A and B are shown apart, each in its own frame.
Chain A
Amino acid sequence: MNTLNELKQAVIQCRTDDVLSLTKQALEQNTEPGRIIQEGLVAGIQDVGEKFAQGIYFLPELLVAGQGVQEAVDMVEPHIPPNAAKRTGSFLIGTVRGDIHDIGKNIVSMILKVNGWEVDDAGVDVEAQAFCAMAAEKHYDVIGLSGLLTMTMGAMEEAVKALKESGLDPAPKIMIGGAPLTQEFCNKIGADAIGFDAWDAVTKAQALMQGQ
């Protein structure tokens, strides 16, 4: 098995120490940094994400694999020429007003980052106007609104409305996610997509970027 294949397997098996040592080994072998990320780390984390979606893996595996990949990407990044860095898109994520639950937001954020997204975290209990202000200051391809409490669904609707009416050009896509939310609610409030779990959120964000 070559190093990149071994690296991919180490990611899939949540062997963080091996992920880091194999990444170091690949760099020492002068493997192209882009290949280390794509063929080793991203290939591995995609497999982990698929296992999560299939109910084979759960949050601990998703998080440990994600953290390992994130640390490995940090090791590789200094070896990538600045203009060659691949970026899937930019993502602003936050928990809506009235809710300070952050686990869903944090998990999605982590999985987005390890899949090449540039992610800014707006924090928790974020007012609709604060999302608009951040989006006016910097363009984001996607804005993700998170909420765990049923009682914060109104705040989510308010945030979507405010973002749609804020006249951002180009307009960011808006995603929502959280336990009480449904596809019907997503359609009703005019969000572009709903992520039913962390991997689903990442997959749908990528689909939005591809205009699907």
Chain B
Amino acid sequence: MKTMTGLERMLTTLKHQEPDRVPHGELHNPAVWQAIAPEGGTYEDFIELLDIDCVVGYDKLTGWNWELQDPEKGIVRDIWGGLQRLTSNQPSPMSPALAGPQDLEAYTPPDPDRPERYLWLQAWVKRWKGERACIAHATDVFDIARESLIGDVPYFTAMIQDPDYIQQVQEIILDYNLRYLKNCIEVGADALFITGDFATTTAPMVSPAMTRQFLLPPLKAAVELGHAHGLPVLKHSDGNIMPIIDDMLATGIDGLHPIDPMAGLDLEEIKKKYGDQVTLCGNVSCAYTLCEAPQDEVVREVKDCIRKAGKGGGYVCMSSNSIHSGVKPENYVAMVKAIHEFGVYPLDLD
């Protein structure tokens, strides 16, 4: 088989065909990639060093702008007006932009057409177009509504007590997200990736009925946008999504990430049941294996994941969430090398 580019590898597996090798991509914390990159090297140098097939631009870090509020504590105002605190490059919500529905009338949403939101993608497209899959990422509407605009507890209670408020806020966010993603497509994105958890480790956050009412329509709109432009759309959700997985797949998503092992999701079982409908992305443990295990265990787990889900394509070998700051750089390198060594089709893992 001729050697494929990272982009070809990704698109082939998303069509449920076997590429030359199982593809790989991640969201990487700077602490990890900087430890691996050549001294003084950029993120792009790191991607090329490890020959990573797809690159994902996390919207909060690439497409959002942050207004510094308290440099000492790392407190910033996000584009929606919510206060967040950046720890380990991870924004965590402190207080939402809206105190209630009364604030909606005067609320001004961010502008998705600001050109600086796309500088990163322009650079990637220039450097890698056709070589690696350049993936545009958007944080889910449900996530932004809870973390930036309404707040967790007020959001959940309003689902029962004031559903119109939720719908109004979500329409504002969806309008931004769709315009942002459309702009990314015009710049040259090869795929779309929507993140934001729908579930905790034990269960979906809201009932299947509320999931269908509030969470899935914005996801479906993103899928329709991607498909209208010929782009695949991947969805991330941690947690036990099994009670809502059929509804999630009904939106038409092409890829599902990360098949959360901490929530008891079994890659092999899900491959058997849903492998012909959706490409599975995951699930090498970044709670344990990539953080603490010896490297031979990393290799074993990579092989195990490929054995469970790789046959016939429809599989991207990734971590069980992201390459966060607790991941050992040497373990991540071992993971990528193992994918390159043992992910070659036709698979021979015995």
Beyond A58-B203, A99-B87, whether A67 also contacts B324 by CB under 8 A is no
Against A, the Cβ 8 Å flags (1 = close, 0 = not) of B314-330 are: 00000001001110000
Alpha-carbon gap, A154 to B88, bound state (A): 14
- Residues A61 and B203 in contact, CB atoms below 8 Å apart: no
For B265, the chain A residues whose CB sits under 8 A away are: none
For A98, the chain B residues whose CB sits under 8 A away are: 87-88
Alpha-carbon gap, A63 to B210, bound state (A): 15
B241 CB to closest chain A CB (Å) equals 13
B149 CB to closest chain A CB (Å) equals 15
**A1-9, A37-45, A100-108: which one contacts chain B?**
A100-108
Contact of B202 among A151, A180, A197 (CB under 8 A): A197
Beyond A16-B161, A58-B207, A103-B152, whether A150 also contacts B321 by CB under 8 A is yes
Beyond A59-B156, A63-B157, whether A179 also contacts B207 by CB under 8 A is no
Contact of A60 among B88, B159, B262, B325 (CB under 8 A): B159
Cβ of A167 within 8 Å of any chain B Cβ, yes or no, is no
Beyond A154-B326, A179-B262, whether A59 also contacts B205 by CB under 8 A is yes
Beyond A58-B210, A179-B238, whether A100 also contacts B262 by CB under 8 A is no
B90 to A, closest residue via Cβ: A149
Contact of A151 among B200, B201, B206, B324 (CB under 8 A): B324
Cβ of A55 within 8 Å of any chain B Cβ, yes or no, is yes
B324 to A, closest residue via Cβ: A151
- Residues A179 and B153 in contact, CB atoms below 8 Å apart: no
Number of B positions contacting A (CB below 8 A): 34
Alpha-carbon gap, A182 to B156, bound state (A): 26
B276 CB to closest chain A CB (Å) equals 27
Chain B contacts with A in 296-324, Cβ cutoff 8 A: 321, 324
B325 to A, closest residue via Cβ: A151
For B88, the chain A residues whose CB sits under 8 A away are: 98, 149, 151
Cβ of A132 within 8 Å of any chain B Cβ, yes or no, is no
Cβ of B6 within 8 Å of any chain A Cβ, yes or no, is no
Which residue, B201, B239, B321, has most C-beta atoms of chain A within 10 A? B201
- Residues B92 and A64 in contact, CB atoms below 8 Å apart: no
Against A, the Cβ 8 Å flags (1 = close, 0 = not) of B237-263 are: 011000100000000000000000010
B286 to A, closest residue via Cβ: A150
B72 CB to closest chain A CB (Å) equals 13
Cβ of A112 within 8 Å of any chain B Cβ, yes or no, is no
- Residues B206 and A60 in contact, CB atoms below 8 Å apart: yes
Alpha-carbon gap, A127 to B262, bound state (A): 26
Cβ of B106 within 8 Å of any chain A Cβ, yes or no, is no
Chain B contacts with A in 272-307, Cβ cutoff 8 A: 286-287, 291
Alpha-carbon gap, A64 to B325, bound state (A): 36
Cβ of A18 within 8 Å of any chain B Cβ, yes or no, is no
- Residues B210 and A60 in contact, CB atoms below 8 Å apart: yes
Alpha-carbon gap, A103 to B154, bound state (A): 11
- Residues A100 and B157 in contact, CB atoms below 8 Å apart: no
Number of A positions contacting B (CB below 8 A): 31
- Residues A103 and B153 in contact, CB atoms below 8 Å apart: yes
- Residues A61 and B160 in contact, CB atoms below 8 Å apart: yes
- Residues A179 and B205 in contact, CB atoms below 8 Å apart: no
For A197, the chain B residues whose CB sits under 8 A away are: 200, 202-203
Alpha-carbon gap, A61 to B238, bound state (A): 21
For B238, the chain A residues whose CB sits under 8 A away are: 179
For B160, the chain A residues whose CB sits under 8 A away are: 14, 60-61, 64
For B63, the chain A residues whose CB sits under 8 A away are: none
Alpha-carbon gap, A150 to B157, bound state (A): 28
- Residues B201 and A59 in contact, CB atoms below 8 Å apart: no
Cβ of B21 within 8 Å of any chain A Cβ, yes or no, is no
Cβ of A158 within 8 Å of any chain B Cβ, yes or no, is no
Beyond A150-B326, A179-B262, A197-B200, whether A100 also contacts B207 by CB under 8 A is no
For A179, the chain B residues whose CB sits under 8 A away are: 200-201, 238-239, 262
For A16, the chain B residues whose CB sits under 8 A away are: 161
Against A, the Cβ 8 Å flags (1 = close, 0 = not) of B147-182 are: 000001100110111000000000000000000000
For A118, the chain B residues whose CB sits under 8 A away are: none
A199 to B, closest residue via Cβ: B202
B85 to A, closest residue via Cβ: A100
Contact of B291 among A59, A67, A124, A150 (CB under 8 A): A150
* A interface residues (Cβ-Cβ under 8 A, vs B): 14, 16, 55, 57-61, 63-64, 67, 98-103, 106-107, 124-125, 149-151, 153-154, 179-180, 182, 196-197
* B interface residues (Cβ-Cβ under 8 A, vs A): 85, 87-88, 90, 92-94, 152-153, 156-157, 159-161, 200-207, 210, 238-239, 243, 262, 286-287, 291, 321, 324-326
Known: A59-B156, A151-B325. 14 other contacts (CB 8 A): A55-B243, A60-B210, A61-B160, A98-B88, A99-B92, A100-B85, A101-B93, A125-B87, A150-B321, A151-B88, A151-B324, A151-B326, A153-B326, A197-B200
